Structure 1
């Protein structure tokens, strides 16, 4: 897999699937498998048996990874999905939102 253009802490928009159109922040990036975990998106429910640590048991809800091709960076200016390009600024490589030309990196 190639390097991801989306990093931890980025605001993203879901482009396809059951959560299409939802916004969230990247909690974890998994570049080895080409997936990201987004807060509040792709929430799955697991049934947990009672254990000594958790005697109650019950339902556990958590975010599952989503393919990076199904999300896009949220443009800082417009809030709409945008692609990412790179540009050299003062000898540093920075990410640019192609929709508006705004810098994504601080």
Structure 2
């Protein structure tokens, strides 16, 4: 009977090794699948970013001004106080500036 017992021991060892190898192969297969998925996601992200960059998605553009009918426009005070200051104005409001052109009917030619 020792031969039968030795045969059974080798068979048990082969089965144990086969199970161990199957577990390791499963781990390696799952790792490769996750790596492949990560690579595909990285490629998809790069292609998406390249498409968005080519289409001008990341450029800073001024928003288009909304068209407002003139009848709906109301006069408001400017928000910036320095915007209302006239750079050509003088301290004396009655003084005339030499920069202002004067038009007379005799000077215009048609």
TM-score, structure 1 length as denominator? 0.17
Larger Rg: 2
Bigger helix share: 2
TM-score, structure 2 length as denominator? 0.17
Bigger strand share: 1
Q: Which has the higher contact order (CA 8 A, sep 6+)?
A: 1
